[in-house]
Amino acid sequence: MNTYMPSVLKPYYYQELDAYHEHMQRNRFSQAWRHLERAHIIGQAYPYEHSEVHWLMLRFGFRIKNLREILGQIPRLLVGGVKSFVGKIPVGNTGGADVPALQPMEIPEDLKQVLNKRNA
């Protein structure tokens, strides 16, 4: 069971969230979304961070007025943290409504290196 994100991953997770917020302030929505997806990959194994990213994705959907994203994030927000807690996550999934919620995905090479640090 996962409860807390290892301290070695936190700087990378928050770096992605900071980049997300920076791009949102400048209305660079595609770049902002990319950083949310990356934060999701880093944080999806940890209930709080996983839920936080889905909350931000839901807010993003409202901001860009995307009904599909809004409706897709509601169930992810409700069950994502629970699935993280029990260790049943689709590794590498980027978290958006444009991909099946339970589909594992290839992790970008730089994020593989980041995630490997938790085992070092």
Q: Express each pLDDT in 49-108 by its tens digit.
A: 999 999 999 999 999 999 999 999 999 999 988 889 888 889 999 999 999 999 999 999
Is the pLDDT at 1 greater than 80, yes or no? no
Are the C-beta atoms of residues 90 and 102 closer than 8 Å to each other? yes
Split at pLDDT 50, 70, 90, the class of 22 is very high
The reply to whether 111 falls in a domain is: yes
The reply to whether 57 falls in a domain is: yes
| pLDDT (average), residues 3-12 | 95
The reply to whether 72 falls in a domain is: yes
The reply to whether 2 falls in a domain is: no
Please, is 120 exposed, middle or buried when counting C-beta atoms within 10 Å of its C-beta (0-12, 13-18, 19+)?
exposed
By residue range, what is the domain housing residue 73? 10-115
Tokens representing residue 65 in the block: 């007025």
Number of domains the chain is built from: 1
For the question of whether the overall pTM of this predicted structure is more than 0.85, the answer is yes
